[in-house]
Structure formats: structure tokens, C-alpha cells
């Protein structure tokens, strides 16, 4: 083997050094890009977390509202059931009075019906 000239070794070293510098610059650029992407990802994750918390708050409010409406409907169903039973007992008494045919009983019946409707009206009005 023959020895290489010194100038060729210097050129080779210079070329290898430039390649090494280019590789290092590329790595630094990749690291900066990766850091930028990670920072952007953290920012987006924070925004997503805020939106999830807002959505959670809305769903909790919707749940509370649904529970309140269910309670209101149950109370209304109870009131309607009471009104229905009162109406059926009134109709039963009306049937009994019609069978007797007395005019005094008819006045009592009319008065009773008016009182029942007033009580129902006041009950429903007080619930609202």
C-alpha cells in the first residue's frame, strides 16, 4: 500500500467534518421540531381538558334538571291520582243521589261538586 498524500487526508477530514456538522444540525433541527410538537400537543391537551370539564359540568346540570323534573312528574301523578279517586267517589255519590231523587240531595250534590272543583283548583295552583 502506498501512503496517501497529506492534502488528500486533509480534504477527507474536512469533508467528514462538514458531514458531521450537517448531521448535528439536522439532529438539532429534529429536536427543536419535536419540542415544538410536544409543546403544541401539551397546549392542545390542556384545551381538551378544559372542554371536557365544561362538558362534565353541563352533563351534571342536565342530570340535576332531569331529577328535578322526575320529582315534579311524580308529584303531579300523585295529585292526578288523588283527583281521580275524589272524582270517582263523587260520581258514586251522584249515582246514589240520583237513585233517591230528592231535590234537597241534588242541591247538596251540586254544592259538593263545586267544593271539590275549588279544592282541586287550589291544590293544582299551589303546586305551581
Stretch 97-118: mean pLDDT, rounded?
81
10 has pLDDT over 80: no
Render pLDDT for 63-104 as a digit per residue (tens, 0 to 9): 999 999 999 999 999 999 998 999 899 888 878 767 776 677
3 has pLDDT over 60: no
Render pLDDT for 18-62 as a digit per residue (tens, 0 to 9): 667 777 888 889 999 999 999 999 999 999 999 999 999 999 999
8 has pLDDT over 70: no
DSSP string, the chain: -PPPPHHHHHHHHHHHHHHHHHHHHHHHHHHHHHHHHHHHHHHHHHHHHHHHHHHHHHHHHHHHHHHHHHHHHHHHHHHHHHHHHHHHHHHHHHHHHHHH--HHHHHHHHHHHHHHHHHHHHHHHHH-
The pLDDT score that the predictor gives to residue 56 is: 97
The pLDDT score that the predictor gives to residue 127 is: 81
Q: Give residue limits of the domains in the chain.
A: 7-127
Confidence of residue 14 (pLDDT cuts 50, 70, 90): low
The pLDDT score that the predictor gives to residue 72 is: 94
The pLDDT score that the predictor gives to residue 108 is: 82
Amino acid at each position: 500500500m502506498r501512503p496517501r498524500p497529506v492534502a488528500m487526508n486533509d480534504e477527507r477530514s474536512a469533508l467528514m467534518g462538514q458531514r458531521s456538522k450537517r448531521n448535528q444540525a439536522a439532529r438539532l433541527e429534529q429536536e427543536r421540531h419535536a419540542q415544538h410538537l410536544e409543546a403544541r400537543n401539551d397546549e392542545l391537551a390542556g384545551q381538551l381538558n378544559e372542554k371536557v370539564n365544561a362538558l362534565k359540568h353541563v352533563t351534571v346540570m342536565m342530570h340535576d334538571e332531569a331529577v328535578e323534573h322526575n320529582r315534579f312528574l311524580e308529584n303531579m301523578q300523585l295529585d292526578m291520582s288523588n283527583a281521580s279517586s275524589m272524582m270517582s267517589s263523587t260520581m258514586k255519590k251522584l249515582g246514589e243521589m240520583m237513585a233517591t231523587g230528592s231535590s234537597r240531595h241534588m242541591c247538596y250534590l251540586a254544592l259538593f261538586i263545586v267544593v271539590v272543583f275549588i279544592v282541586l283548583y287550589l291544590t293544582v295552583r299551589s303546586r305551581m
